[in-house]
Chain A
Amino acid sequence: MRIRLLVTAATLAALVITACGGGTAAPSASAGASATAAGPLPDVKIGLATSKSGAANFYNPQQTQGAQLAVDQFNATGGFQGGRQKIQLIVEDDGSVRDQGITVFKKFIEQDKVTVILGPTLSAVAAGAHPVAQAAGVPVIAISNTGLGIVGKCDYGPCDWIFRASLGEQSAVPETVKAATSKLGLKKVVIIYGDGKFELDDLAIFRDAFKANGVTVAKEIPYRATDVDFAPFVTAAKAENPDAIVASSLAGPAGKILDEVAKQLPAKRVIGGNGLNSSALLPNANAGLMIVGTAWSKASTDKANQDFIAAYKAKYNADPDQFAAQSYTAMLVLIEAMKKTTRMSDKEQVKKALESVSLSATPLGAFSFTPEHDVKQPTFVMTVKDKQFVPFQ
């Protein structure tokens, strides 16, 4: 009896949900049939998977707003096909966890039938979600994954449907290390690193970069995500008498490392990866110690960048950060690629177009994809002055 009841309930639930799902699918099907007329064409759907809740929720709302701004600007110009086809951006929260990220990707692919997916926010979520899109043959643009194994050589096999618009640490870190080594005359450093995927990828990249520049890594000191006080780590680093401290960490721990270095190792600098590139660190009194390679410079006076900043401020009444600039640029690049296709919702065509797309003016500078689908753009080595990121000189 009970089992029959359960089955009935499950079937009912499934029907209710499919009914809702069907409601959104229907218009696009009927609109498709009348596409031959000069009337409006069905929207090109693009999915954005992003961490609005959970551990990584602080990349939002910027990550969402950046993409939305690009879409709104484009739709205001009329859209594709002589103004008959607009873009619809569908945003879903992945809760910062892998299985929700996979479900969001599947929803985009199976239910919303999107042409391209942007995201997800975290590399650890991407490790589960990207293979889903790869298997389904849906182009993905990663907009904030900076670690190893996102594009090019992936653990799950071919990943030719995946593109990356976020500057990888493999590109940014060596530039940072080179600049810091030559300007500060580094001989010996100590790396303090966290235990997550991002931090450990960074650690490996830093290690190689220092080796390439002839700098000794005297000690590598790990901390755990559960550590609250960073004084002991910096004290341990101090014993090595390093020329600089390297923080392979996210912004939260980095702030504490900056404070401790200021106190215990006065006048020493803190070199970091993309984790330090956070506007949340700007109010930190010791943020001026940091040297970080970034994908975006707010100070860049390029017209494309200044226009973006002004438009973002006008629309959201807040300053954009790097995550907004990257999702905005990814969307610009995607639109540019779609313009080169004959049918904007043709995934195969969009993929081909992305491979050859090139924009000379974006907020991130000149932008294109490498043969491995990784981003090709300038790296900005920055520090902080007067609560603003400024070029490190």
Chain B
Amino acid sequence: MDAIADFLATYSTTFAIVGINALLALSVWLTLYAGQLTLGNAAFMAIGAYTSALLGRHLGAPFPLALAAGAVAAAALAAPLGLTVFRLRGVYLAIATLAFGEVVRVILLATPITGRGQGLNGIPPKTELWHIYLSLAVVAYVLWRVQGSIAGRAWAAIREDEVAAASQGIAVRRYKLAAFVLGALLAAWAGGLSAHVTFSIDPNDFAFTKAVQILVFAVVGGIPNVLGPVLGATVFTALPELLRPFKDYRDIFQGAILLAVIIYLPRGIVTLAELRKTRRLAEIGAADVA
């Protein structure tokens, strides 16, 4: 029993990061499902992380309130941004949101209250594992239900063909904005949770690399359903720990595994169990979002 307790205590941070990354992957899944390729979720994560940490530190805000405030702040910023980039699609949208993310990062680097490049240190570790996994369960369940709902079908229709969707009377602008803002909200919630796991945040935690990493989780996991991003985040967060025995060759194996997965399971790990149905998935173009 001791061994199991030791194991859990050792990898509690890894479990926490797995859950947080799964939330982040779901946040980007949401926009991908609605046909929007965004790289701005690392910035929304930063907004959630900094807002909640600063509210806790300077105003003594209770943890749930601080988290919620971070998420609301990100959503409030995402709404006008989403309206501005509404016309852009594919790589253009990705680069626009990436540019937004860099602006956020530079502002964090230049602002005294966010600690500039030194970041915020000594953030109390208030996040419990159950906070993360309860959030994840709720979010995954809600998104799973949404997928089959009117909104879910509207998003799928927009992803397949925006013009056709509009001609069928779907409020394209409103649905796209909803996906974008909800994605930001979710990313910021995850950001707030993560800031209270690792004691310390700095602007470089939310750079381009992070944005791409989140996208990798979602895409490699698979877009067809909500299990994909969760699976992708789990596998690729745990991988560095699992590959520890390879020591100096860790990164090489990780790269090789990532390459193999994307080539042999281009629609995501989640399709592993459904290889026989691959043709059907291809027909509905489930992952054809870029």
Contacts and interface: CB of A to CB of B under 8 A. Distances in A.
B125 interface: yes
Interface string B204-218: 110000000000000
B4 interface: yes
Contacts of A109: 9-10
A188 B251 CA distance: 46
Contact of B204 (A93, A100, A107, A196): A196
B86 to A, nearest CB: 29
Interface stretch (B12-20, B22-30, B37-45, B281-289): B12-20
Given A99-B13, A127-B200, A155-B121, A52 B247 contact: yes
B240 A95 contact: yes
Contacts of A52: 247-248
A99 B6 contact: no
A197 interface: yes
Contact of B14 (A22, A103, A128, A195): A103
B241 interface: yes
Given A106-B13, A110-B6, A200 B205 contact: no
B56 interface: no
B9 A200 contact: no
A95 B248 CA distance: 10
Interface stretch (A13-21, A308-316, A370-378): A13-21
A199 B6 CA distance: 38
Interface residues of B, number: 39
B122 A157 contact: yes
A149 B198 contact: no
A22 B2 CA distance: 9
A200 B121 contact: no
B3 A22 contact: yes
A162 to B, nearest CB: 13
A264 interface: no
B10 A98 contact: no
Contacts of A156: 121-124, 199
A109 B240 CA distance: 19
How many chain A residues sit at the interface, stated as a range, is 35 or more
Given A106-B11, A106-B12, A199-B117, A25 B202 contact: no
Contacts of B247: 52, 93
Contacts of B153: none
Contact of A18 (B7, B204, B244): B7
A328 to B, nearest CB: 22
B79 interface: no
A154 interface: yes
A17 B242 CA distance: 9
A200 B118 contact: yes
Interface string B248-285: 10110000000000000000000001000000000000
A107 B198 contact: no
Contacts of A196: 117, 204
A107 B123 CA distance: 22
Max chain B Cβ within 10 angstroms of own Cβ: one of A14, A17, A22, A195: A195
A18 B7 CA distance: 6
A21 B204 CA distance: 34
Given A99-B17, A106-B11, A131-B125, A195 B117 contact: yes
B119 interface: yes
Contacts of A149: 121
Nearest to A147: B118
B171 to A, nearest CB: 34
Max chain B Cβ within 10 angstroms of own Cβ: one of A25, A95, A131, A154: A131
A201 interface: yes
Given A149-B121, A155-B121, A103 B241 contact: yes
Contacts of B198: 98-99, 102, 128
A2 interface: yes
Contacts of B2: 25
B96 interface: no
Contacts of A225: 204
A111 B117 contact: no
Interface string A87-115: 00000110100111011001101110000
A196 B105 CA distance: 13
Interface in A172-201: 194-197, 199-201
12 contacts: A18-B3, A21-B6, A21-B7, A21-B10, A93-B244, A93-B247, A98-B205, A128-B198, A131-B122, A157-B122, A195-B116, A199-B117
Instruction: Give 7 nearest A-B pairs by CB, closest first.
Output: A155-B122, A156-B122, A127-B200, A155-B121, A110-B9, A22-B3, A110-B10
Given A127-B200, A155-B122, A155-B200, 9 more contacts: A22-B3, A93-B250, A103-B14, A106-B9, A127-B119, A154-B121, A194-B117, A195-B109, A200-B118
Interface of A: 2, 14, 17-19, 21-22, 25, 52-53, 92-93, 95, 98-100, 102-103, 106-107, 109-111, 124, 127-128, 131, 149, 154-157, 194-197, 199-201, 225
